[in-house]
Amino acid sequence: MDKNFVSKSVTLFFIGLLFVLALYMLKIIIIPILLGLLLTYFFYPVYVKINKYIKNKDVSAFILIFAIVFAIAIPLWFLTPMLVRQIFESYMYMQKINFGELFQNVFPSLFNEEIARTFYVNINNILTKLFNSLLSQGSEFVSNLPNIILQGVVTLFTFYFSTRDADKLKDYFLKLSPFSPSTERKFIEEFTHITNAIVYGQFLIAAVQGLLLGVGLYVLGVDNVLLLTAMTMLVSVIPVFGAWLVWLPVSIYLITSGQVFNGVVLFLYGALIVSTVDNLLRIYLLSRKSSLSTAVSLIGIIGGIYAFGLVGILLGPLILAYTLIIVEFYRQGKLDDLFKPN
């Protein structure tokens, strides 16, 4: 057997083994690393402005991270106990509501006594399962707290070093990339458009809608404002869904419970302000080029949640959209154009 062939085979085997071991070692923290890189992309313009005055990369990156952690940790510290309490209070309160009778009063032609009773039982079962699921998630969160803290530290370390050395990191990946310059520009352009569409077009707008509805609920004196605000932000992130899934049922409940004025005001506020601000902000924040297909976004979110948990809400659409870029090159017969010439 050729000695040179054996030598190359052994070398390739050990190189492959090193890569496999490295991937196995990093698989637990690959998601926190990706999150750190995404945070760098999102907050890098802020870092540049800070560094413009500080003139020190390490200090600027540290100030940015400290400000972000402080801005997130302080509200969580105070609001989490309130949110947990409101979840318990809402569950106990909804257990007392006869939803069958309520809907029978609103839609008498659709709900007879038997259907109303069945509806009531099913709604109670759904609420019980949902609450048990929340309790299970809460206990799982507590049991996994050391692992979550470790992943958070990895995210912050990645965020710090990738922000501080963003220029070097970009040059390194461009030199490492096997793609042609035109393909690299295409990917960077698509990455910017897609990421902006998800970060600004979904998460930021969802946060604004949630806060707007929360303010309206607080002014009208509705109970459990924090819980309803969090629910609005969550459903507003998911395409096809929207803030109406929260303000519409609450409006109906207020009207049927005798608070007609508050219910009508909330209905008009939700329809004319909360749900329309989506379109206004989308026009202001996003260019037409940065629009993301609703189908891709929805499938990406669902698949991302199954694969990565809550983080998948962000990563799922990104991964699917970038994969479709490769598919589009193949469809156009330009797959060879992806790579640099030899």
Provide the mean pLDDT of the chain: 78
Separation between Cα atoms, residue 188 and residue 168, nearest integer Å: 16
User: CA 103, CA 328: separation in Å to the nearest integer?
Assistant: 49
Structure-token match 């990406």, residue found: 300
The end-to-end CA distance of the chain, in Å, is: 31
Give the pLDDT score at 288.
47
Helix/strand/coil (H/E/C) assignment for every residue in 72-119: HHHHHHHHHHHHHHHHHHHHHHHHHCCHHHHHHHHCCCCCCHHHHHHH
CA angle 320, 136, 303 (to 5 degrees): 10
Q: What is the pLDDT of residue 197?
A: 72
Residues of the chain with pLDDT under 70: 1-3, 5-6, 95-117, 119-121, 135, 137-138, 142, 177-180, 182-183, 201, 239-240, 282-294, 310, 333-342
Domain boundaries, the chain: 30-176, 178-342
Are 296 and 317 in contact by the 8 Å Cβ rule? The answer is: yes
**Predicted local distance difference test score (pLDDT) of residue 112:** 63
Continuous H helices in the chain = 3-26, 30-54, 57-96, 99-106, 113-143, 145-164, 166-176, 181-198, 205-219, 225-237, 244-256, 260-269, 277-285, 294-308, 312-331
Q: Write down the pLDDT at residue 342.
A: 47
pLDDT of residue 215: 92
pLDDT digits (tens, 9 = 90+) for 42-73: 888 889 899 888 888 888 999 999 998 888 88
0.75 exceeded by the pTM?
no
DSSP 227-262: HHHHHHHHHHHSTT--THHHHHHHHHHHHHTT-HHH
* CA dist 177 → 173, 183, 184 (Å): 6, 10, 8
Q: Return d(Cα 28, Cα 14) in angstroms, integer.
A: 23
